[in-house]
């Protein structure tokens, strides 16, 4: 490649999805020797600046900045909300563009992103993990903000030797609500107790009702965040990071169908992950790859 490629990345979605997109972009930029600029937008899906969640990413050739007012006009991903106006500017500013639906489809296929990145200026908006490096630990570039590290440490210090992570996704995740009902979590947690009488649980959830229900049922065995579940505020998203890394410090994680949050925590902590489902009871995922293998508990 004669001219060094430059990639502008707009990570899309919630916390775990944005982490996947950034991780993939950094891996890809390292692979092809490109410079990378990451622009962090706030919105209903994640209403918090990056610096309130994580320490700066210090890597040569990589910058990450919070979106300015002008960025919303020039670099935001085109959609109905902005009348697709940014796309007009992006056609002029970039040699090639790729948006989230297109990136998602290409990630699941045999598309060669290296061949695609043959020009000088590229724009990618994605939540997809389109590039991976098995030699490097995933998400190693993410470090929680200093003020959050102490809260994570305090949580982990209360763990027993057999603390299991439980992540129950509710609110806007229709798949998780439909396919991973609370009774399946209760069944799995009861099974863990039968297997080990010393079993304890750390519950991470975006539902106050789930905290109350499981807190009463597993009283004395379960701990959860004292903060109200709220993903639309800075405080709520900071707690999401605290819970993510607290889950990563458990022995293994039981999660919800259709949510990448618990799987991300498992990959950070290099621990086993499973999700409860009406369809297959659970699926165990190797935390360092995308390979899954199904097990039946019926």
Phi-psi region of 134 (alpha: psi -120 to 50; beta: other; left: phi over 0): alpha
Pair of tokens at residue 151: 């809260």
Check: CATH 3.40.50 for 6-126?
Answer: yes
248-257 pLDDT, tens per residue? 999 999 999 8
With a CB cutoff of 8 Å and minimum separation 6, the contacts of 252 are 164, 165, 266, 271, 272, 273, 274
**CATH placement of domain 146-295:** 3.40.50.11350
Question: How far, in Å, CA of 109 to CA of 117, rounded?
Answer: 17
Question: How far, in Å, CA of 45 to CA of 145, rounded?
Answer: 20
List, for the chain, all residue ranges whose pLDDT scores fall below the cut of 70. Answer: 1-3, 229, 280-298
- pLDDT of 3 reads 65
Question: b/e per residue, 154-191, with b = 16+ CB within 10 A?
Answer: ebeeebeeebbbbbbbbeebeebbebbbbebbeebbee
pTM score of the predicted model: 0.90
- pLDDT of 296 reads 31
- pLDDT of 109 reads 83
Secondary structure class of 26 (helix, strand, coil): helix
Indicate the DSSP class of residue 265: H
Domain boundaries in the chain?
6-126, 146-295
User: Are 6-126 and 146-295 equal in CATH topology?
Assistant: yes
């Amino acid at each position: 490649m004669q001219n060094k490629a430059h990639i502008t990345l707009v990570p899309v979605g919630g916390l775990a999805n944005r982490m996947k997109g950034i991780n993939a972009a950094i891996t890809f930029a390292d692979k092809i020797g490109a410079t990378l600029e990451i622009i962090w937008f706030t919105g209903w899906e994640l209403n918090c600046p990056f610096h309130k969640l994580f320490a700066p990413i210090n890597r040569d050739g990589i910058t990450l900045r919070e979106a300015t007012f002008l960025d919303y006009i020039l670099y935001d991903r085109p959609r109905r909300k902005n009348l697709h106006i940014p796309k007009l500017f992006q056609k002029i500013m970039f040699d090639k563009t790729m948006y989230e639906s297109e990136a998602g489809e290409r990630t699941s296929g045999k598309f060669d992103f290296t061949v695609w990145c043959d020009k000088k200026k590229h724009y990618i908006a994605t939540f997809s993990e389109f590039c991976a490096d098995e030699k490097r630990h995933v998400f190693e570039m993410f470090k929680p903000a200093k003020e959050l590290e102490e809260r994570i440490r305090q949580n982990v210090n209360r763990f027993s030797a057999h603390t299991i992570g439980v992540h129950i996704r509710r609110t806007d995740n229709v798949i998780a609500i439909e396919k991973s009902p609370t009774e399946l979590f209760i069944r799995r947690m009861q099974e863990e107790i039968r297997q080990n009488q010393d079993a304890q649980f750390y519950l991470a959830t975006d539902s106050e009702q789930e905290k109350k229900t499981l807190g009463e049922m597993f009283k004395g065995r379960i701990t959860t965040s004292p903060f109200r579940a709220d993903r639309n505020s800075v405080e709520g998203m900071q707690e999401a990071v605290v819970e993510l890394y607290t889950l990563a410090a458990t022995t293994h994680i039981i999660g919800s169908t259709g949510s990448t949050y618990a799987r991300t925590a498992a990959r950070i902590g290099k621990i086993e992950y499973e999700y409860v489902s009406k369809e297959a009871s659970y699926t165990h995922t190797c935390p360092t790859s995308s390979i899954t293998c199904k097990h039946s508990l019926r």
